[in-house]
Structure 1
Amino acid sequence: MTGALSVDSTARTQAAALRAKDISARELLELHLDRIAERNPQLNAVVSLDPERARAAAAAADDQLVSGGEIGPLHGLPFAFKDTHAAAGWRTTYGSPLYAEHVPDADELVVERIRRAGAVPIGKTNVPEFAAGSHTFNRVFGTTLNPHDPSRSAGGSSGGAACALASGMVPLAEGSDMGGSLRNPASFCGVVGLRPSWGRVPEWPQANMWETTSTGGPMARTVGDLALLLSVLAGPDPRAPHALGDAGAAFAPPLAATAVRGLRVALSADLGGAFAVDADVRAVVEAAGTALAGAGAVVTGAVPDLSGADACFRTLRAWHFQARFGALLAEHPDGFKASLAENIRAGESLTGADVALAYQRRTALAQRMREFFTDHDVLVLPVSQVPPFPADQEFPTSIDGRPMESYLDWMRSAYLITVTGCPAISVPFGTTPDGLPVGVQVVARHGGDRFLLEVATAIEALASSAN
């Protein structure tokens, strides 16, 4: 092992050290297991940990490197899969007591790709029940806490992933995002999370391959590391007919920050009054605007027309949840947390006309966003409307004096973007006065993921200078 390589080094640095044989996969694994032993008992981010199986996989990775076999881009890096993603032979609970002892016999596509890229599986990352809600707690493993302040939420539903990343338990993480489940925990934990363009990261198997509000995606501590993982996750697959055709390898080369001077930035802390926002979050978004303008960007307060987006998302979410969980809820009426059961039941009264209207609205939203991005390069807004809230709350009950009536209300800043189909990334930019991380959400046109990552790299550098 050379230099100051540690579990806090970038994933690209760790991967390069493994390829150069400056450190073995076994040594790197032990460093991460030590960090997990140090921090996980308090934070509860990694679940179903299996050190001995991980050690066997690390030994195999070292043997493969010695033998001269083909080496994948994640070769030897310790990895924990989101506990809603099936991993063959590995306990996968979905955060539900109904699946507390479930062990799948096949990998999901996202897991399959990460294994093929050479990662060393160590366990799973904690989730809310069936990934519903942006606060990670369940009756199987308990609550995941924020690594910057363990009295606070780590966000969700990829909260275990974001917490594990931020605390150095893993160098990379994957997750999924319907209403903000990659973006929100990234903001809460001070890491980077990308909801890619719809179709960029294919999913298989799916109960409904035409359901398009949820997508898998990468998380990392830096934008450059996130691009490395995206290069593994992205790309077409014959089992996923809606997948975009670009090869994932397009994201592998190191990112260059796009030129900020002349960049056309539309920035709003509340999308023209579309949602309530905490004053500390507003301050960070406005600071990002000041920094971008100072670097030469053309920053305006323009906002896209997202009328109908709220109703569209809520209809499609309820429809999806009822189709997926309705029969299970009927069989186990006490087997679901109350907020999820309510969301499932909300789908029971939907008609075909309701769902058709939601898709008509989504089609119109996509067209309006295409038009918006002819005059603007990116849209910048909050990731989450609040900073990390107390971990003993299920969700914030009010923001800036406005009551939140359900566990969805406080996530509008994320889910209004979901139904546009556009890629959106959470980039750390500042903190609250008491030191809690706050990210900004950057959105680009559908298909513009590489450009979005280049802009995010520039914003990451501005954040570093500003802080």
Structure 2
Amino acid sequence: MVMNEICRMSAVELAQNIVRKELRAIEVVDAMLARIEECSNVHAFVCTVAEQARQAAKKVDQDLHSGQDGLPPLLGIPYSAKDVTNCAGVPTRYGSLALPAFLPSEDNLAVSRAKVAGAILLGKTATPELAHKAFTYSPLSGLTLNPFHPEVTSGGSSGGAAVAVALGMGPIALGTDGGGSVRIPAACCGVVGLKPSIGSLPDHQAQDLFGVTAHAGPLARSVADIRFFYRELEGGHIHDPYSQGRRPALRELHSLKGVRVAWLLKCGNKEVDTEVERLSKAAVNTMQDLGAIVEVVELDFARLEPHFLVLMESRVARSLRALDEKSLSKVDPSLLTHYDRGVSHTAMDYMDALSERATAFRQVQDVFERFDVIASPTMSAPPLAHAQDPHGSVIINGNETGRVRAEWYPYTMAFNLTGHPAISIPCGYTNSGLPVGFHLAARWYDEAYLLDVAEILEKELAVPTLSM
């Protein structure tokens, strides 16, 4: 089987072929590594672990040949991890030339669980420095190119992960999402991205266990592959406070009939691009055609931006506080802006931000008293130009609107503050061929239900993926 055929296959298809011995795991890994090399000009990867991956693949083939019982579910499935995620023995660089590379001796929990389930790590994907923005450029790896158009962003901060999946450099990528950082690049690159509930896929290495807003989450070309990978990763951890409580009973969903949908075209932002509005309205109308009960609701997520920034910038200041002036001069200027603000935030600013976070949680919980999912565009406009200032105003429909977080992706940012699970799926393409994402959020720990809704809608929309 030729490289492109293998690289086009889903994770589910690859798993079936490997177990049936119709494909060898080493063939799959070699095809993915060759594809990474072929696509090196898009800067999706920071590094590969080629020899480690090949050795793991050979071990898979040996185990299959020997007829070993009890083989793990992700046996031989290649994936990548974002370069803020610790993988034992592989340097974590954080997209930075200023911070020293960290060589972890222990895997991040998601990586550890993927390994136990039989998945094979291919390498680390590109991120903006400290994963701080929705545009994947870093001093370390340069500009990560969008596979649909070289002049627009691949999104961020898991831009390398989204590009890798879109171009067949592995069927699955593990990203992180601190304000939309899985869902935004998924929408920009025409793939699927899941942000789990707080506590569903814990980060037991997080510095602030109680104030966490960032979550590890998978990206793939289909909801089925997201489910296939994620179900092996989810589950509580003794060191995570949000994974100690009881989970809701699983709700099986076979159709959208009777599903109650809260629809948000805007959430405090001034404008929605006309093509994004057309495609996202078509998606929610499809839900209605399938039997869902859709009702327009009003929520103001854009107002959360200054409070989100206080929390984020305080963490940035803490991360960079030990750097001297020479090292700070190597920091991405947009990150340095966040650092300068972060050191000036007061304890009162921080407490105000926590209070607003609590208010937002209560408001979203009130919506889920009446609805099963909240639907919206993933972003208010298609992928923005690389030249967009991350701190500047966004122009939508020819109108200057406001800052990026409040005006381009208020839909995603809010659910990092409230902790609810959310997913972005493709809902179509603009007239110029750029992908547009559709966003769905559900109750805490209701990922299975969310994935059911997303998969039913995905099947009906039947948006074609990028050809390879």
CA deviation profile, 1:225-278 (whole Å, cap 9, x unmatched): 10112112210112323225679xx99xxx97542222221212212x434322
Q: Does structure 1 residue 400 correspond to structure 2 residue 416?
A: no
The 3-state SS of whatever aligns with 1:233 is coil
Q: What residue identity is the alignment partner of 2:257?
A: R
Contact 2:269/2:302 (8 A) holds in 1:
no
**Cα deviations by residue, 1:142-168 (Å, 9 ceiling, x for unpaired):** 111111223322111111111110111
2:343 aligned partner? 348
Q: CA deviation digits over 1:407-435, x for unaligned, max 9?
A: 54433232123212211100111111011
Partner in structure 1 of residue 362 of structure 2:
367
Taking the TM superposition and a 5 Å limit, the aligned residue runs for 1:14-33 are 14-33=14-33
Cα drift, residue 224 of structure 1:
1.2
CA contact (8 A) 1:319 1:350 kept: yes
Q: Deviation of residue 79 (structure 1)?
A: 1.8
What's 2:150 paired with? 150
Deviates more, 1:66-75 or 1:161-170: 66-75
**What is the aligned length?**
459
- Asked if structure 2 preserves the Cα contact closer than 8 Å seen for 1:195 and 1:425, the reply is yes
Matched, 1:48 2:47: yes
Question: Are the counterparts in 2 of residues 183 and 414 from structure 1 also a CA contact under 8 Å?
Answer: yes
What is the distance in 2 between the residues matched to 1:381 and 1:428? 12
**What is the correspondence of 1:300-449 to structure 2 with a 5 Å cutoff?**
300-304=295-299, 306=301, 309-328=304-323, 332-395=327-390, 397-403=394-400, 406=403, 408-409=405-406, 410-449=408-447
Amino acid at match of 2:104: P
Instruction: Please tell me whether the aligned partners of residues 210 and 241 of structure 2 are also in contact (alpha carbons under 8 angstroms).
Output: no
User: Which sits farther off after the overlay, 55-64 or 195-204?
Assistant: 55-64
Equivalence for 1:79: 79
Q: Distance in 2 between matches of 1:281 and 1:318?
A: 30
Counterpart position of 1:9? 9
- What is the alpha-carbon distance in structure 2 between the residues aligned to residue 406 and residue 210 of structure 1? 28
1:340-379 per-position Cα deviation (integer Å, ceiling 9, x unaligned): 1111222223222222222222222222212211212211
Secondary structure of the residue aligned to 2:54 is helix
Partner of 2:263: 267
- Mean Cα displacement is larger for which, 439-448 or 425-434? 439-448
Correspondence for 1:463: 461
Give the letter for the 1:12 counterpart. V
Q: Which amino acid aligns with 1:154?
A: S
Moved more, 16-25 or 193-202: 16-25
Q: What is the identity percentage for the equivalent residue pairs of Structure 1 and Structure 2?
A: 34
Moved more, 82-91 or 321-330: 321-330
**Normalized against structure 2, the TM-score is what?**
0.91
Indicate the larger mover: 13-22 or 319-328.
Answer: 319-328
Which SS does the other structure have where 1:198 is aligned? Answer: coil
TM-aligned CA distance change 1:434 to 1:256, over 3 Å: farther
Give the partner amino acid of 2:48: L
Offset of 1:331 from its aligned partner? 6.8
* Cα 1:329–1:464 shift into 2, 3 Å: farther
Helix, strand or coil: the match of 2:242?
A: coil
Shift of 1:45: 0.9
Measured in 2, the distance between the counterparts of 1:208 and 1:416 equals 19
- How far does residue 65 in structure 1 lie from its aligned partner after superposition? 2.7
Deviation at 1:61, TM superposition (A): 1.9
SS in 1 for 2:321: helix
What is the match of residue 61 of structure 1? 60
Instruction: Report SS of the residue matched to 1:441.
Output: strand
Deviates more, 1:213-222 or 1:386-395: 386-395
Give the conservation status (yes or no) of the 8 Å contact 2:270–2:401: no
Is the contact between residue 7 and residue 168 of structure 1 (CA under 8 Å) also seen in structure 2? yes
- The offset of 1:90, in angstroms, is 1.3
User: Does the 8 Å contact 1:326/1:345 carry over to 2?
Assistant: no
- The equivalent of 1:184 in structure 2 is 184
SS of structure 1 residue aligned to 2:175: strand
Cα offset for 1:37?
A: 2.8
Deviations 1:81-126 (A, max 9, x none): 1111111211321100124754333222222122222122221111
Between the aligned partners of 1:225 and 1:72, the Cα distance in structure 2 is: 16
Q: Is this contact kept in 1: 2:426–2:463, CA < 8 A?
A: no
CA distance in 1, matches of 2:185, 2:424: 9
Q: Distance in 1 between matches of 2:266 and 2:309?
A: 19
Cα distance in 2 for residues equivalent to 1:99 and 1:319? 17
Does 2:129 align with 1:124? no
Please, which moves more after superposition, 437-446 or 258-267? 258-267
Match of residue 223 from structure 1: 223
- The structure-2 alpha-carbon separation of the partners of 1:96 and 1:226, relative to structure 1 and needing over 3 Å to count, comes to same
In the superposition, the TM-score normalised over structure 1's length comes to 0.91
Moved over 6 A (4+): none
Q: Which moved more, 1:92-101 or 1:203-212?
A: 92-101
Residues 366-375 or 154-163, more deviating: 366-375
* Alignment-mate amino acid for residue 305 of structure 2: D
Would you say the 8 A contact 2:305–2:405 is kept in 1? no
Amino acid at match of 1:414: T
SS in 2 for 1:98: coil
Report what 1:214 is aligned to: 214
The answer as to whether partners of 1:339 and 1:407 remain within 8 angstroms in 2 is no
Any conservation in 2 of the 1:5–1:14 contact (CA below 8 Å)? no
Structure 1 residues 109, 268: CA separation in 2 closer, same or farther (over 3 Å shift)? Answer: same
| Structure 2: distance between partners of 1:192 and 1:466 | 12
The code of the aligned residue for 1:459 comes to L
CA separation of 1:185 and 1:200: change in aligned 2, threshold 3 A = same
Residue number in structure 2 paired with 1:203: 203
Give 5+ residue unaligned stretches, structure 1.
Answer: none
What secondary structure sits across from 1:48 in the alignment?
strand
